[in-house]
Amino acid sequence: MSSSIGLEQQFGANNYSPLPVVLTKGEGVYVWDEEGVRYIDMMSAYSAVSHGHCHPVIVKALSEQAGTLAVVSRAFYTNKLGVFLQKLCEITGFDKALPMNSGAEAVETAIKAARKWAYQVKKIPENKAEIIVCEGNFHGRTTTIVGMSSEPQYRFGFGPFAPGFKLIPYGDIAALEKAITPQTAAFLVEPIQGEAGIIVPPKGYLKKCAELCKKHNVLLICDEIQTGLGRTGKLLASDHEGVKPDGLILGKALGGGLLPISAFLTRADVMAVFTPGDHGSTFGGNPLAAAVGAAAIDVLIQEDLVSRAAKLGDYMLKSLTSIQSPYIKEVRGKGLLIGVEINKEFCSAREICLRLLKEGVLSKETHHTVVRFAPPLVITEQQIDKVVAALSKVLI
């Protein structure tokens, strides 16, 4: 066993079950282990490395800013944050953005904004506001967020949980309509559920959700931490149905594969519920993160990564669906966010991932049944061909 694995197991908490490989270097779609073996990364850190590993433009922005000014807290203005927020708002079409670090922090920000808006603007009685969420959701790991999860393991041993959430089936517009009451502040939803196994809702679902929310004066908040910034072949997954939500949550790819950067974006009237002292983060919006985030947005546009994800996602979906194997139950996804559901009668998805590892392909299972394929958006058709060939080989 590698000494690196041994050290992690000896001194780290046992809250992950990594594949048995120790990575030491990355470039583009490739990563290398400590023995110099090269792998194609089909995970891209759950979409955080959409630009590819160690993108030179983003690394340069990080290096230059780190040697100038990195962190000063939001007690002062800096010359980087405003530029980053402007780019972020202009590319997404929102009025205001509140920067945080992790995706979970941005989700918590959205929850706070929705509740305060409900009390101050919608005039819901204090402490009665409800937020509707979906079964199979994954919005983060804080105690508030796992309290609205339907996954037993995420909840077990961590209660009591905060009230104020309603859980409904995903993709069921009738369930949403039934769940809305005068106390409903917001509907928080993933346009495509990532951690649940790359679950794509019925066509038109999000558009109908938006119409319902508008009808009942309910905020539609889209969690696009995994699906946003080009991953699904559109800038935002909500763009596939022409939906402009009231609130948007971004993270992962926003950090260019280098830093944790997230943000909650919304209309000016919704963001206006926050006043100095209501919410904050020591590291959120620091100049180092702002410089990296701005560079990540520039690269996304200049290299046309959104169109690449659309074109190559279609190519990969067609290639994967052409595999004839009883091991495969279903192939689904949009853009370069693809799940291959494995027939559990034959083996587990983890077993397939372990076999792919030996073939130089890195992926990770979700819920023991789905192999996730979400590579950096800079991947090529030739590299996709190698992955598909490797998958075909291990499905025996």
208 counts as catalytic: no
Integer Cα distance of 296 and 281 in angstroms: 21
Nearest to 130 by CA among 218, 205, 193: 218
Q: Which of 84, 138, 165, 373 is catalytic?
A: 138
Integer Cα distance of 308 and 314 in angstroms: 10
Residues 21 and 340 sit within 8 Å (Cβ to Cβ): no
138 counts as catalytic: yes
Integer Cα distance of 255 and 250 in angstroms: 10
Nearest to 115 by CA among 144, 154, 149, 85: 144
Q: How many CB atoms lie within 10 A of CB 127?
A: 9
Q: Which of 87, 122, 166, 252 is catalytic?
A: 252
The phi, psi pair for 313, rounded to 5°, reads -65, -45
Q: Kindly report the three-state secondary structure assignment for every residue of 91-141.
A: HHCCCEEEEECCHHHHHHHHHHHHHHHHHHCCCCCCCCCEEEEECCCCCCC
Nearest to 136 by CA among 203, 207, 199: 199
Helix (H) or strand (E) holding 177: helix 173-179
Sign of the alpha-carbon torsion through 143, 225, 151, 113: positive
Total residue count of the chain as it appears in this document: 396
Cβ neighbourhood burial of 350 (10 Å; 0-12, 13-18, 19+): middle
Q: Which of 33, 41, 223, 246 is catalytic?
A: 223
The token pair that represents 394 in the structure block? 């291990």
The token pair that represents 104 in the structure block? 């979970």
Active site residues: 138, 223, 252
